[in-house]
Structure 1
Amino acid sequence: MKCLVFFLIVVLLSTTVFADGTRGDVRERIEPKGFLYGLGLGINQEIYSGYDYRVIPLPIIGYRGDNFRVLGPFVSYDAFSFSEFELALQVAPRFQGFDESDSFIFENMQERKFSMDAGLGLSYEKKDWKVGLSSMFDVLGRSNGYEAKANISRVFRKGPLFFEPSLSVSYLDSDHVDYYYGVKANETNEFTSKYLGKSALNTTFSLSLATPIFLGGFTRIVVDYTWYDSAITNSPLVEDESNMSVRFLFSKFF
């Protein structure tokens, strides 16, 4: 049902996205170019039992150019472009994982570690719309899994405020799901049972609010709400079917 809703929304919005026009002026304004610095903070509500939330500090030293972008550990390079299409090489951290100290539910379990993903992203931008496809692989060999994602968004401007709602669907393969949500036979405890993770399809709605009016820099707040596939929520480690995360970013140009 979630996939059908997403497909219908994409079809509806695409009639506007692929209308005549060029890259929108509003998107250009919220993505200026140059060297930048700042800080960020992420707060993720966790779906694991007994693990309330994860706090992620995000120091920012970066650069945004025509083809190359670095924002802390996030890196993107536009390797090929044609008209409004861009094919990019991407590297991004994966802030997942746990150890025994995080919750009672992880007792007797091996640590699941933070990792880094790398892969390709294909995007199309026109009239402040953006449609993206990406495929990212675990390059540190933690889960040996991958994620494929489809996303559609649009930027709106109201005075000095920029709003960007977006909708995405992400496919996680069985290796990824089993690593972060599976339970091996020798890892069970009184609260869990053996569980083999299978591939999953999650849906996320995001809303970004950005403005340049504070302290001579650029402030962005992003709220994500994700609905998880039953392949994840059926895990004995999981107690919630959805979660919310918030990211705060403040950056200035040198």
Structure 2
Amino acid sequence: FDANAKLAVRFDGYDADDSDFLKGMKDRDRSLDGGFSLGLQREDIARLELEYMHDTLSHHKGSETSIQLSRQFNKGPFFFVPEVSAHYLNQKLVDYYYGVEQNEATLERGRYEGRSGWNYRADLNFSTPILFGGFTRLDLGYIWYSNSITDSPIVDQTEGYNIRFAYTRFF
């Protein structure tokens, strides 16, 4: 069993000049979320983690709660971790990033009040300490967005992909 305090940048957000379609919208700022996680690791079975994060800068004033299930497989110095997770985004968070206020509405972009919802993710993480003289990690992810997000007139996708490469050098 483990418990951790966490801080994470929330990269959601946009500037109204990012797209012609967003003209007339107020910018939505990135934020810094803080919270905690509780994890349970069963050797050779799986890891279960519950996480709660809340906006520390009062931009979206919301929170996200998630549950993740993962399993690590080792093959020599290589690690492979599949993970599935469910993320509950509360109404304040969804409304801030995906809502359209009355004064932002146009004929093409109707008013939209965000509501809470669930996003679902599937991720594959590959890592090894033997490449490039440090610790190398590649993350591949797929996300299914909640209807509370995809119903927004400023969203045109129902799912998304992410690829992340990380390298850590120890001194």
- What's the TM-score bracket when you normalise by the shorter of the two chains? over 0.9
For 2:39 and 2:18, the matched residues in 1 are separated by 37
Return the match for 1:186 from 100, 103, 106: 103
Contact 1:107 1:189 in 2 (8 A): no
Aligned 1:80-99 pairs, distance under 5 A = 85-99=1-15
Q: Please tell me whether residue 145 in structure 1 is matched to residue 145 in structure 2.
A: no
For 1:105 and 1:234, the matched residues in 2 are separated by 16
For 2:37 and 2:132, the matched residues in 1 are separated by 33
**Structure 1 gap segments, 5+ residues each:** 1-84
For 2:115 and 2:85, the matched residues in 1 are separated by 20
Count, aligned residues: 170
For 2:78 and 2:107, the matched residues in 1 are separated by 51
Q: Please tell me whether residue 205 in structure 1 is matched to residue 122 in structure 2.
A: yes
The match for 2:39 is 123
Give the AA of the match of 1:189: T
Q: Please tell me whether residue 165 in structure 1 is matched to residue 103 in structure 2.
A: no
For 1:88 and 1:215, the matched residues in 2 are separated by 30
Q: Please tell me whether residue 250 in structure 1 is matched to residue 151 in structure 2.
A: no
More helix by share: 1
- SS of equivalent to 1:253: coil
Q: CA deviation at 1:142?
A: 0.4
Q: CA deviation at 1:216?
A: 1.2
The match for 1:217 is 134
Aligned 1:24-39 pairs, distance under 5 A = none
Q: CA deviation at 1:190?
A: 4.1
The match for 2:25 is 109
Structure number with the bigger relative contact order (C-alpha 8 A, sep ≥ 6) is 1
| TM-score, reference length from structure 1 | 0.65
For 2:10 and 2:152, the matched residues in 1 are separated by 20
TM-superposition CA deviations, 1:39-59 (whole Å, max 9, x none): xxxxxxxxxxxxxxxxxxxxx
Contact 1:227 1:242 in 2 (8 A): yes
**Structure 2 gap segments, 5+ residues each:** none
Give the AA of the match of 1:213: I
The match for 2:93 is 176
> In angstroms, what is the RMSD of aligned CA positions?
1.1
Fraction of identical pairs, as percent: 39
Give every structure 1 segment of 4 or more consecutive aligned residues whose post-TM-superposition deviation is greater than 3 Å: none
